[in-house]
Amino acid sequence: MSVGKVRDFDIKNGNWSAYVDRLEMYFVANKIAEDLKLPTLIALIGEPAYELLSTLASPRKPSTLKYKEAVELLQAHLQPKPSILAERYRFRQRRQSAGETIADYVADLKKMSRYCEFKINLEENLRDQFVCGLRSEYIRQRLFAEDNIDYQKALVLANTLEAAERDAGAVEGTQEQTTSRELSERIHKLELNKCSACGVNGHGAHNCRYKEFECSYCGQPGHLRRVCRKKEFDRRIKSTISNRGNNGARGRSRRGRVIGSSAYGAGVWRSGNMARGGRSNARTARSNDVTDAAYWLSEPAMDDNSGSEQDVEGTNEEPMYQMSLTNYKPT
């Protein structure tokens, strides 16, 4: 009974050198004699490889060849000997790729050096290319600091440093992830527990002792002044009016609309023509007077000949000034 199994050789994707090496070990394990190596090779390589061997050996038959001749015929066709200079050039260009471990990088370097024929200088060239091609700047500098380090020591030290970097990164990543998750959970918990009646975290409005209190700003029950929505709305309105007034709006004769401080901008209409002296009143109006009403004034154009008002801007109203009722003097 034979030891092991050798599959058919794949002409398109197979490596003939590696296949022959495995075949040699099969011969040794099964104690196959020299005169039986060729028949065993022909029996194991499969039909496509045998057809190729027949073509290469023509007009001779494969059975008339010696084992070494058959191997060399297939070797010259499937894996012709490459240029040494070209192989060394590719070897020198090899760098560690992103995400590639040091072990994989070294394995590929050794594979590429097979046809470079470095001979007794193999390890020296492997060391030089290995260190120069490392992706980690920290590991490279650490190896540069070593005096007369050989290939094996450089490989051991680089693997140790890579493992240390990987472990440290895993610990830091876990800590950052835990901190971020805990912070998000705390913020979410605070937002859920924020009371809409008093604005304090840690309880809901249904458990708040101020849920029956009457707001001193809007007069509605169920919340305090500091969380009053109407107060926030009015503050934004006054801020908008003040900003527009400070951006260079100038007063002219106006026919105004007064918006009082009633709920959410519900105002009282007051008509009447302001005298030209309204310009000075507009200029001296205080934007920080939060106790008086906010004035939204729309400006119609005046006909210089007849003195009648002609609305050239339509019926759209534009907020212009915030005025104090104490400073307003209708004519």
At residue 262, the pLDDT reads: 41
Among the listed residues 130, 141, 125, 142, the one whose alpha carbon sits nearest the alpha carbon of residue 100: 130
Say how far apart CA 82 and CA 226 lie, in whole Å: 84
> How many CA atoms within 13 Å lie on the side-chain side of 10?
5
Q: How confident is the model at residue 25 (pLDDT cuts 50, 70, 90)?
A: very high
Average pLDDT over the chain, rounded to an integer = 74
Pick from 73-82, 221-230, 268-277: least confident:
268-277
Average pLDDT, integer, range 265-292:
41
Q: What is the pLDDT of residues 286-323, one digit of tens each?
A: 444 433 444 433 343 444 444 433 343 444 444 444 44
313, 254 Cβ separation under 8 angstroms: no
- Quick count: other Cβ atoms within 10 Å of Cβ 36? 14
Query: Could you tell me what percent of the chain has a pLDDT over 70?
Result: 64
Amino acid at 276: R
At residue 240, the pLDDT reads: 80
Alpha helices in the chain (DSSP H): 16-29, 37-44, 47-57, 67-78, 84-93, 102-112, 122-132, 137-144, 151-192, 229-246, 278-283
Pairing verdict, β 294-298 and 301-302: unpaired
At residue 248, the pLDDT reads: 52
> 268 vs 173, 180, 233, 320, CA distance in Å?
62, 53, 18, 17
Q: What is the pLDDT of residues 192-220, one digit of tens each?
A: 556 777 877 666 677 787 777 888 888 88
Q: What is the pLDDT of residues 69-119, one digit of tens each?
A: 999 999 999 988 888 999 999 999 999 998 899 999 999 999 999 889 898
Average pLDDT, integer, range 179-189:
60
Average pLDDT, integer, range 29-35:
90
Residue 55 or residue 203, greater confidence: 55
What domains does the chain contain, in order, with CATH numbers? 16-78 (no CATH), 84-165 (1.10.1200), 196-227 (no CATH), 229-310 (no CATH)
Q: Nearest 5°: phi and psi at 309? A: -90, 130
At residue 293, the pLDDT reads: 40
Evaluate if residue 142 carries a pLDDT over 50: yes
Say how far apart CA 290 and CA 315 lie, in whole Å: 28
Evaluate if residue 139 carries a pLDDT over 70: yes
Among the listed residues 96, 81, 12, 97, the one whose alpha carbon sits nearest the alpha carbon of residue 46: 12
Global pTM value: 0.43
> 186 vs 177, 183, 197, 208, CA distance in Å?
14, 5, 21, 21
At residue 254, the pLDDT reads: 44
At residue 291, the pLDDT reads: 39
At residue 181, the pLDDT reads: 63
3-state secondary structure of 221: strand
Residue 268 or residue 56, greater confidence: 56
At residue 40, the pLDDT reads: 92
